A and B are shown apart, each in its own frame.
Chain A
Amino acid sequence: MVPQRHLRRDAPLEVSREVAILAALTSTSEVSTFEAMDNASDRDFLQGTLDVLVLQGLSWGPRHGYAVARWIEETSAGAFQVVDGALYAALHRMEERGWIDAEWGVSDRGRRAKFYRLTTLGRRQLRAQRESWKEYVAAFARVLNARTEPA
C-alpha cells in the first residue's frame, strides 16, 4: 500500500536552492523538449537535470507523474516550468532503465493513476547525481563569487 496520505511536503531546501541558482545562471526558466535541442551534450545535460529533479521528487515515496510535476513547480517556486510531456518522457526513460518502478493505483481523489517509485538502483543514482550536482554548483558559486582578478 502506498502511504499517499502521509506524504511529507517539506522539501529539502538545500538542493532545490542550488538547482534554482543553476537554473538562473543558465537563464533557462523553462526546460524545453529534448527533441528541440540540437546539441547532444546540451541535451544530455538537460536530461540529467530533469532526471535528478524527478528522482528527487520520488525520493519520499511513490507518486504519480502529475504530483511530481506539481512538486517541481512548487519547490522551485515556479522557476522551473518543466514541460509535462518531457517529464513523462523522463519517467518512462528511467523506468526502462530500472531506476524507477511503476504500478497502477488509485489517487487520493479516487482516480486510477500510475504511481512511480524509486528502485534501489534509482536511489543509488539519485545519491550519485546529487553529489555531483552539489560539487558542480559549489564550483560554479566559487567562480562567480571570486574576488580575485584573473592573472
Chain B
Amino acid sequence: MREPRWRRYLRFWRPSAERDVDDELRFHLEARIEELRARGLRPDEARAAAADRFGDMNAFRPLLVASTRRRLHRASLGERTRIILQELRFSLRGLRREPLLAVAIVFALGAGIGANAAMFDIADRLLLRPPTHVRDAQHVVRMYAEVKDLVSGQHYTGSALNYPIFQQLATLPAFDRVAGYATFAASVGTGAAAWHAHAALVTSSFFPLLGTRPILGRAFLPEEEQPGYAQPGVVLSYEAWRSHFGGDSAVLGRHLEISGWKYPVVGIAPPEFSGVELQRVDLWLPLSAADHGFFVSDWAINKFSYWLTLLARLRPGVPPRAAEAQATARFRAATATVPMHDSTALVHLKSVVGARNYNMQPPPEARVSAWLSGIAGVVLLIACANVATLLLLRAMRRRRELAIRRAVGMSAGRLLGHLMLESFLLAAAGGIAALVAMRWVGGALRALLLPDVAWGATTVDLRVLGLTTLGVLLAGFVTALIPALSVGRRSLSEELRSGGHGVAWHRSSVHAALLVGQGALTVALLVGAGLFLRSVQRAEGLDFGYDRSHVLEVQLEFPARDAQHARDLDAIYARALQRVSAIPGVTHAGISDSDPGGWSYGMSLSIPGRDSLPRTETGGPYGSAVTPDYFAAIGTRILRGRGFTAADVAGSERVVVVSKGMADLYWPGADPLGTCVKVDDSADCTRVVGIAQDIRQYGITDKPRLWLYVPWAQATSQHPSHTLFVHTVGDPSAMELTVRQAVQSLDPTLPFVSVKPLESVLDPQLRPWRLGTTMLSAFGLLAMALAALGLYSVVAYSVSQRRREMGIRLALGAQRRIVARLVLRDAVRIALTGAVMGALLGAGFGHFVRDVLFQPPALDLIVIAVAALSLVLASVLASLVPAWRAGGVDIAAVLRAD
C-alpha cells in the first residue's frame, strides 16, 4: 500500500509542494467523478459536479500548497538532522572501538593545523595586520628616501629624514597630513626605581594622522611641536600606565622624569597602540622635547642630520605614484642647499601595513616567516597524507562491513557521507586540539621568536580561528577523499567473495605513494632545518672582533645635552669604571665612546705624503676613543704593537691603534707601526703604536670596518656617547644585577642603568635564523614522527593481512629472521625512495631559501645526507616491531583459522 521506495527518495531529494497537492487533489477529483458517474451522471456532468463540490479551486489550492511547503521544509530539516545525528553516533562508536587510532589521528591533525595557526599568527603580525588603532591604515604610508652616495656611487634607501624636510613635505597637496616620529631608548625615574622605556618623539600631527585618540587626557598640541616650548607633556602607553602606575587616572598632570628631564603626563594611549612600529613604545613626547638633546639640539633647523621618520596619509583619490612624484620633487628642492646632496634622489612611499626595516626591505624575520607559513602548509599536507593512510587502513579493515552496508542498500552517497563525516569529526577534534595547543604554546612561541614585538593580549584571535576552521575543512576533505575513492572502486561481490584475504593490499600503490610522498616532504623539511641550523652555527662562529660571551655593556640613559653635561658624564663613567673594576669576577673594564650596534663615528685621517686614501664599501674610517683596559674588556685582540696604557694622557705623545684591515689597506706590504698619521685634522703627528683585529660593528650582517682607536684621555673633541664594557669570568648575565647596583650606588639621582650582555645586543640579528631553525626543526621532527607513524601502521596492517602467508612460510621451515626481513624489505624500499626524492626536493628547497640563509654553501651535502639517513633510520625503527611480530605468527592458529 505504501508507495515504492524510490519515489520517497525522489521526494526526499526534490520535494515539490505543488506536485504533492496536485497529486492529492487529482486523486480526490477522480474518485468523486467516478462516484458521480456510478450514480448515472454523464462524464462532463460528473466533472462539473465534482468541481462544484470542491469549491473555489483558485482559493484552496494556494492555501494547501503553502501549508504543504511549510511542512515539507520542516520535515526535510528534521530528517537531515536525524540522519546526521545517527551517522555521528555511528562514527563515534566506531572510533571508540579504536581509541589509539583516533588519538593518533587527532594528534597528527592537531599538530598540522596547530603549526599553521602558530605560523599564521606570527606571519600575520609581520606581514598582514595593519597597526592597531590606526584608522584606514591602507592610506597611511611611510616615506623612504633613496639617495646616491656621491663618493662611492652606491644607492642607499632609508627612512631617516629630518624636520626641515618634514616642513617642506607637509604642505604637499597629495597628502592629507604628514607626521614624523623618532624612537629612542629612555630612562624613566631615578635610582633603583628607574625603568627602561622605548620612547618616541612625535610631531603634533602624529596622533591626528593615525586617527588615534588617547583614552585619557589629550594628545599633543600644535605648539608643543615648536622648538623652545616651555613644558612639553608626555603620553604614556596603556601598558606602561597599567604596569607602572596601576592604571590610576591621577597620574595625569604628574611629572615624570625621563632621561633627566621632567614632563607632565598629559594622556594615555589606547591599549596595544604602538604607532606604526612593530615594537612596543612606552611613551610619546612632542617634538619640542628634542630640545633636550635626544637627537640633535638644533633639530628644527639642522639639515644635515637624519633622524626623523615621516608618515603621510594620502589624500583620497590620489594615486601613490603621483604622491611619490610630488614628494620626490619637493625632497630634491628641500635638500638642494645641502652639500653633497644627490639631485637624483627618489622618495618612495610604502604602506605601514606589513613590517619594513628602516631600509624599506621587509625584515628577514618577515621573509623567514613567509617561508615558514608555506612550510606549515606542507606539514598540514603531510599530516593529511598520514591521516589518509590511517583512515584508508581503517576503511580496509572495515571493508567487509562497508561492503555489507552497501549490499543491504546503503547508497554510495550515504557511504561517502559517512566517511566524510568521520574525517570531519576527526579534523574538528584536531582543530580543537590545535587551538588548545595554541593557547598553551602560542604565547611562549611569540615571546621566544619575536620578543620585542608588541603582541596583542589575545593569543587566539578571530583570524587564527578562521584559518583553523579552514585547516579543519581542508584536512577533513582531503583525508576523506582517498579512502572514499579507493573503497568506492572495488566491486561488492569481489569484496565479499575474497573474504578479506585475497587482495595484496600490502602492495597498494595508494599507500606506497602516500608514504613515499610523506617521506620525501619530511626529508625536505629536515634539510631546511639543517640549513638554518648551519646558518646559525656559521653566524655564531663568525669572529666579530670582540668576545660576545663574557662582556657586559653598561650605559646610563641620559640624553646628551651640552658640553658641561658631557664632562659630567665623563666623571660619572670614570667613577663607575673604578667601582665596577673592583667587583670580584670582573677581570677588566673599559670605556669607549662607541658601542657595537650603536653609532659609527667617522674620523678624518690623513697620512703625510699621501693625497688620498683608498676607500671600502663600508665607508669610514671610523674611530673611537677608549680607555686603556678597553681592548681587554671587550676582547678585541691587539695583533701587533701595544694597546693603550695609563701613560697615554693628554699632553703625552699622541698615539693611535689601527685595525688590521686599515693597516693592510693603507700600508700594503709595509709595517705601519711607528708611522705618523694625522687624526681629526690636527697638525701634530699621531704615532701608530698597535694593530688591533678587525671588528664588525654591526655584527653578522656587517663587513669589517676601517677603524682606529685613540686614547680616551687624548680625545680632542667631546665624547659623543659613553659605554662601559665589563669583562666577566663566567656568565655575564649572572653579574648583571651586581654591576647595576654597583653603578647605581654611586649616586641616587642617576637615571636607569642599562646593563646587558653584549650577546643580547647582537642576538636579534640571529633571530631570523633562530626562528627558521626552531620552527623547521619542530616541523621536521613532527613530520618524521608522522611518517614513522604512517609506516608503522601500514607495515603492521600488511603483517596482519599476510599472517597466513607468514604462517605457511614458517611452517615450511623459514626462520623468523628471514620472515622479518621480508616485511622489513618493503618498508625500507619505501623509505629509500622517499629519502632519495626528499634529498632532491631538499636540494631544490635549499636553493630557494638561499636569500634568507647566512652565507650558504652552494649545496650542503652533509645536511642532505643526514636528513635522508634520519628518515631511513626512523622508518626502519618504526617497522622493526611489526616485522619481528610477523616472524612470531602462531602457525597452528593461522592454519586453523582458515
Contacts and interface: CB of A to CB of B under 8 A. Distances in A.
A35 interface: yes
B28 A65 contact: yes
A95 interface: yes
Centre residue among B23, B28, B54, B67 by max chain A CB count within 10 A:
B28
6 contacts: A66-B28, A66-B31, A70-B35, A84-B55, A104-B3, A107-B27
B27 A95 contact: no
Interface stretch (A13-21, A49-57, A109-117, A133-141): A109-117
Interface string A22-51: 000000000001010000000000000000
A99 to B, nearest CB: 13
Contact of B27 (A2, A4, A111): A111
Contacts of B129: none
Contacts of A84: 28, 32, 53-55
Interface size class for chain A? 20 to 34
A142 to B, nearest CB: 35
B27 A85 contact: no
Interface stretch (B57-65, B160-168, B287-295, B739-747): B57-65
B68 A92 contact: yes
B67 A113 contact: no
Interface in A62-101: 64-66, 69-70, 81, 83-86, 88-89, 92-93, 95-96
B3 to A, nearest CB: 5
A1 B8 CA distance: 16
Centre residue among B23, B54, B55 by max chain A CB count within 10 A:
B55
B2 A89 contact: no
**Which 5 interchain pairs have the tightest Cβ spacing?**
A85-B60, A85-B55, A83-B55, A92-B67, A84-B54
B71 interface: yes
A116 to B, nearest CB: 10
Given A65-B24, A105-B3, A106-B2, A111 B57 contact: no
Contacts of B408: none
B28 A88 contact: yes
Contacts of B1: 1-2, 4, 105-106
A115 to B, nearest CB: 8
A93 B67 contact: yes
Contacts of B59: 33, 35, 85
A96 B71 contact: yes
A128 B193 CA distance: 84
A69 to B, nearest CB: 8
Contacts of B71: 92, 95-96
B56 interface: yes
Centre residue among B1, B7, B54, B70 by max chain A CB count within 10 A:
B1
B478 to A, nearest CB: 41
B56 A88 contact: no
A93 B25 CA distance: 16
A105 B1 CA distance: 5
Given A83-B54, A83-B55, A85-B57, A64 B2 contact: no
Secondary structure call for the B interface: helix
Interface size class for chain B? 20 to 34
B223 interface: no
B3 A89 contact: no
A64 B3 contact: no
A46 B23 CA distance: 27
Interface of B: 1-3, 7-8, 20, 23-25, 27-28, 30-32, 35, 53-57, 59-60, 63-64, 67-68, 70-71
Nearest to A33: B55
B32 A66 contact: yes
A1 to B, nearest CB: 6
B359 to A, nearest CB: 72
Contacts of A88: 24-25, 28, 60, 64
Given A35-B59, A104-B7, 13 more contacts: A33-B55, A33-B56, A65-B24, A84-B55, A85-B57, A85-B59, A89-B64, A96-B67, A105-B2, A105-B3, A107-B31, A113-B27, A114-B24
A97 B432 CA distance: 41
Contact of A112 (B27, B55, B57, B63): B27
A80 B64 CA distance: 22
A85 B54 contact: yes
A114 B1 CA distance: 11
Contacts of A103: 2
Contacts of A64: 27-28
A92 B65 CA distance: 9
Contacts of A89: 60, 63-64, 67
A103 B1 CA distance: 10
A10 B666 CA distance: 128
B413 to A, nearest CB: 23
B27 A66 contact: yes
A64 B55 CA distance: 18
Nearest to B57: A85
Contacts of A113: 24, 27
Nearest to B11: A104
A35 B61 CA distance: 13
A69 B53 CA distance: 11
A70 B50 CA distance: 13
Centre residue among A81, A93, A104 by max chain B CB count within 10 A:
A104
A115 B241 CA distance: 75
A85 B25 CA distance: 9
A4 to B, nearest CB: 7
Contacts of B28: 64-66, 69, 84, 88
Nearest to A115: B1
Contacts of B57: 85
Contacts of A92: 63-64, 67-68, 71
Nearest to B68: A92
Contacts of A65: 24, 28
Nearest to B7: A104
Contacts of B60: 33, 85-86, 88-89
B67 A95 contact: yes
Nearest to A113: B27
B55 A96 contact: no
A105 B3 CA distance: 5
A4 B529 CA distance: 78
B885 to A, nearest CB: 56
Contacts of B67: 89, 92-93, 95-96
Nearest to B28: A66
B64 to A, nearest CB: 5
A150 B347 CA distance: 109
Given A66-B32, A93-B67, A106-B2, A114 B27 contact: yes
A84 B55 CA distance: 7
A91 B803 CA distance: 65
Contacts of B35: 70
Contacts of B68: 92
A124 B589 CA distance: 99
